[in-house]
Amino acid sequence: MDYAALTGRLYRAPSNFLECLDSSWVRRTFSTNLDCRATDAQKPVLQKRTKYKPVHRKYRPVPTYMPNPESQQFRTIPPPEPLVIPKKPMPWRKLPYGKRVMLERMEMMLGNIEEGILNEEEIDLLCYVVHKREKAFAFEFSEKGFFDWKYYPDYEIPVIEHTPWQRPPIRVPHAIIEEVKSEIRTQEAAGRFELTVSSYRSAMFAVAKKKGVRL
């Protein structure tokens, strides 16, 4: 018996071989009409090389001044006086609440704590500390604080000689113009906006949020 007949007898597949292992890979392997052409995803992509940046669009450095480093000295912030914590604080519902952390806001903060983590004494102690340090919490924009210029001086940005820009303002829709005016007055009262006589003028636009208009 020759080698071809022997291998054909040993590796003869059953008649229902393709039916038992029916898959796309098996059909492609035993198919007689194989398409060996490259698909669109396999074709090489030709890239056109262009200039990185024209000469007339290049930015060249110019000599200018640097701000005085002595005016950018930061002072050490003195630590606050340590808080005397009582061993048995007053029940948190009977605390003399102020204007910022009120009883309703305290209940809102305690509602975010999972039940069972703190016992009654720990909750009273936590509310006592929050009551004594109520200025550390802000619930509105008007209650937010600012860095004191004594400890964080203004930073001077070095610039080159140029003409100040005057960009025209973006028109505010009449439907929200009163809300925009109210937001400007609120931010001005909070200290975030202030009057200026600068030669620059940038465009401002209003964005409608869930809690009102934001600038």
Residue 11 confidence (pLDDT) above 70: no
Residue 6 confidence (pLDDT) above 50: no
- Note the pLDDT of residue 39: 53
- Note the pLDDT of residue 10: 44
Residue 99 confidence (pLDDT) above 60: yes
**C-alpha distance across the termini of the chain, in Å:** 93
pLDDT tens-digit profile of 71-87?
Answer: 677 788 888 888 888 88
163 confidence band (pLDDT: 50, 70, 90): confident
High-pLDDT (> 90) share of the chain, %: 18
- Note the pLDDT of residue 119: 92
Lowest mean pLDDT among 43-52, 134-143, 190-199: 43-52
Mean pLDDT, range 13-26, rounded to an integer: 58
- Note the pLDDT of residue 48: 62
Residue 157 confidence (pLDDT) above 80: no
Domain boundaries, the chain: 163-215
Mean pLDDT, range 137-159, rounded to an integer: 80
125-145 in b/e form (b: 16+ CB < 10 A) is bbbbebbeebeeeeeeeeeee
pLDDT tens-digit profile of 169-209?
Answer: 888 888 888 888 888 888 888 778 888 888 888 888 888 77
Half-sphere exposure of 131 (CA within 13 A, CB side): 23
110: left (phi over 0), alpha (psi -120 to 50) or beta: alpha
C-alpha dist (Å) from residue 8 to 2, 5, 17, 30, 173: 10, 5, 15, 16, 85
DSSP 8-state secondary structure symbol assigned to residue 62 = -
Backbone angles phi, psi at 105, to 5 degrees: -70, -35
